[in-house]
Chains A and B, each alone.
Chain A
């Protein structure tokens, strides 16, 4: 039991350090998608654009992050201000993989009533990286 736990800690320590660039996160989601989808065509900013603005339920991503993700958003229910989502406008975004996963989990659950696929995450990130900064 202890041996197993020690091994887990050793493996954790061996993982690459966090604080990545958004492009590295995008590459990792795309690499993951390649293992999940046969003939994965690669990330697409235009598919991400459609996904971001589509109403998946009562909500779309844009419901809170607004139609222009390089501008500040507002929580559609509580009115709480949300900092711009696009990394081109907000250097804090998409740097910490665990944080990014946490928000994809919560927000996909709320908006799509399911988890998002790696391909969808890669597409959205490709779209956000193409969004004009400081608009």
Chain B
């Protein structure tokens, strides 16, 4: 009973804090990333996939991604309001819209013109190989991907795959 009371009061407190932060984030739209926002981004997004650099998508596309975290490419990646604000800050965008229509197509880095062009010599078989699995697995070849380093000199193709 006491626990339930705690939970509901905490929920109210968190919502109040979240609303305050959401307002603050909107006001400080496209605020510069901070060490704290970088750390939150790495933890919340970089646990499951490469912490993609902000430059990989257009700001409007990041906004769509952040507004659809409940259906994040087949996974539930919902964040609390504090983390969502930090991630938005890190990606250089404002708060995501509350309701993105369900039919909205999710942006794909791998379908961006620059990505397709940069990888046009990599075969589909290489992307599907057991060492790579997915084009989302940047660090399979880009050894500095987790540090945001995608320099050509840092590329090491896994054994059994080819850079044709």
A residues contacting B by CB (< 8 A) are 4-5, 7-9, 11-12, 15, 32, 35, 75, 77-80, 82, 102, 105-106, 109-110
- A113: nearest residue on chain B (CB-CB)? B76
| B132, A79: Cβ atoms closer than 8 Å | yes
Q: How far is the CB of B23 from chain A (nearest CB, A)?
A: 15
- B: residues with CB less than 8 A from A are 3, 6, 9-10, 12-13, 16, 46-50, 73-78, 80, 132-134, 136-137, 139-140
Partner of B134, one of A15, A78, A102, A109: A78
Contacts of A35 in B (CB 8 A): 3
Q: Are B76 and A80 in contact (CB under 8 A)?
A: no
Flag if B16 contacts A5 (CB, 8 Å): yes
Q: By DSSP majority rule, is chain B's interface helix, strand, loop, or mixed?
A: loop
- The answer to whether B140 touches A75 (Cβ under 8 A) is no
Closest 5 CB pairs of A and B: A8-B13, A79-B137, A109-B76, A79-B133, A78-B49
**Which residues of the other chain, A, contact B139 by a CB distance below 8 angstroms?**
80
Q: Which residues of B contact A78 (CB under 8 A)?
A: 48-50, 133-134, 136-137
Among A80, A102, A106, A109, max chain B CB count under 10 A is at A80
- Output the least CB separation between A16 and chain B (Å): 11
- B13: which A residues are within 8 A, CB to CB? 5, 8-9, 11-12
Question: Other CB < 8 Å A-B pairs besides A11-B10, A79-B134, 9 of them?
Answer: A8-B9, A8-B16, A12-B13, A15-B6, A35-B3, A78-B48, A105-B76, A110-B75, A110-B76
* Given A78-B48, A80-B50, also A4-B12 (CB < 8 A): yes
Expressed in whole angstroms, the Cα–Cα distance for A114 and B90 within the complex equals: 30
What are some 24 contacts across the A-B interface (CB < 8 A)?
A4-B12, A5-B13, A5-B16, A8-B10, A9-B13, A11-B9, A11-B13, A75-B49, A77-B75, A77-B134, A77-B136, A78-B134, A79-B133, A79-B137, A79-B140, A80-B46, A80-B49, A80-B50, A105-B76, A105-B78, A106-B77, A106-B78, A110-B75, A110-B76
